[in-house]
Amino acid sequence: MRIALAGAGAFGIRHLDGLANIDGVEVTSLVGRRLEPTKEVAERYGIAHVTTDLADSLARTDVDAVILCTPTQLHAAQAVAALRAGKHVQVEIPVADSWEGAAEIDRVQRETGLVCMAGHTRRFNPSHQWVHRRIVSGELRIQQMDVQTFFFRRTNMNALGQPRSWTDHLLWHHAAHTVDLFQYQGGEDVTIANAVQGPLHPELGIAMDMSIQLRTAGGKICTLSLSFNNDGPLGSFFRYICDNGTYIARYDDLVDGYERPVDVSRVDVSTNGIELQDREFVAAIREGREPNAAIAQVLGCYRVLGDLDRKLAGGR
């Protein structure tokens, strides 16, 4: 499996680390915004081809699939271009910053029949997998999810504290994790969605604080609080309030409602959610099947985000 990775920043490097653990996978091309830093990453990981133009990678015969870790605003157009070029695609979350963009990727995937997977990592974190398996077996049923997504990000900085060329978004990026996970774990589509946001940042032009409420047809509810103003513990914290226990997931770790650790070490072959996500992508291509988090499976998430975006903009 020969893969081109576009985006040599903080998240791209996490994918490179994960791919290095998968047998029979080679990253043959690396795409970055600036040539010299991209070359440095390529040398570190033994990648022969380096470019600043994704089209160069898509034209190569030694590329079977593409992983897009590029700025959010480029995802939809780049995913469509990769599919049109005959490459399987994994596009990092969010797959698009509009409902129309997500729907277009889905349409082109159906036309080409290629694997197109979204980087909805929460489906693959061992903590959330542990909960999901018990929901499927009937041991747990979600009553409510209470989620906090908190960062201190008042400038365009990435996860490594380096300047970022694009602006992140609480709704289209960070809320996408929770909206998709809530529907995935609950097994039902969201039928009621409401949101309010705080003032827009005077320079970044985005809301720095947001609150979202979701409800499914069956009565499951989710409350999501998001902030780029939080000067404290950072990250996303998911509280599952179920009919048979309460569990708190912090990325790959899980505790019960009393903060007692839950052993998730045997849930999968790795405790690294990004690696597990990449393993699913590779396996789906090799086996000719739809992957978990296929674009068709996550499309409902982007429909909800589109509705919320219109409400926040005063559309209705």
List strand residue ranges (DSSP E) for 138-281, in order: 142-150, 190-197, 209-216, 221-227, 235-242, 245-250, 253-256
CA distances from residue 15 to 22, 264, 273 in whole angstroms, order as listed: 11, 21, 10
Q: How does residue 110 score in pLDDT terms, banded at 50, 70 and 90? A: very high
User: Tens of pLDDT along 245-255?
Assistant: 999 999 899 99
Tokens of residue 115, six digits: 């694997």
- List all residues 6 or more positions away from 41 whose beta carbon is below 8 Å from its beta carbon: 8, 12, 13, 16, 30, 32, 47
CB 238 within 8 A of CB 82: no
Residue boundaries of the structural domains of the chain: 2-119+274-294, 125-267
2-119+274-294 and 125-267 share one fold:
no
Could you count the other beta carbons within 10 Å of the beta carbon of residue 163? 8
CATH fold label, 2-119+274-294 = Rossmann fold (3.40.50)
CATH fold label, 125-267 = Dihydrodipicolinate Reductase; domain 2 (3.30.360)
Tokens of residue 107, six digits: 């349409």
Query: What is the enclosing helix (H) or strand (E) of 229?
Result: none
Q: How does residue 57 score in pLDDT terms, banded at 50, 70 and 90? A: very high
In terms of Cβ atoms closer than 10 Å to its own Cβ (0-12, 13-18, 19+), residue 286 is exposed
The residue whose two tokens read 């590329």 is 63
Q: For the chain, how long is the longest CA-to-CA vector? A: 54
DSSP-derived secondary structure letter, 74: G
Mean pLDDT in residue range 45-51: 98
User: Tens of pLDDT along 122-134?
Assistant: 999 999 999 999 9
pTM for the whole thing? 0.94
